[in-house]
Amino acid sequence: MANYALRVPESLFAYARQVAEEEHVSMNQFFVTAIAEKVSALKTEAYFRERQSRGDLSAFDAWLEASPEAAPLVGDERP
């Protein structure tokens, strides 16, 4: 496990301390969780951007055209 000295503005630190206390977690756990959430959000965004770049709208249109016209299944009707 690595150590990193983190400088945090006093106002942000006070708020982080308050939230950590409300959540009954240590400041370390609070910061680690916050970092993990941010990394996860960035990785998810990158994943979907990469998937989007592989998309082929003409192939999707062809797939839609090949789909049979059918009535909705029971339970799928619009209200």
What is the residue extent of each domain of the chain? 16-64
In the prediction, which pLDDT does 4 show? 93
Res 7 pLDDT > 90: yes
Q: Where are the alpha helices (DSSP H) in 24-56?
A: 27-53
Q: What percent of the chain has pLDDT over 70?
A: 100
Q: pLDDT band for position 72 (50/70/90)?
A: confident
What's the chain's average pLDDT?
A: 93
Q: Is the dihedral of CA 67, 71, 76, 79 positive or negative?
A: positive
Is the pTM higher than 0.75? The answer reads no
pLDDT tens track for 17-54: 999 999 999 999 999 999 999 999 999 999 999 999 99
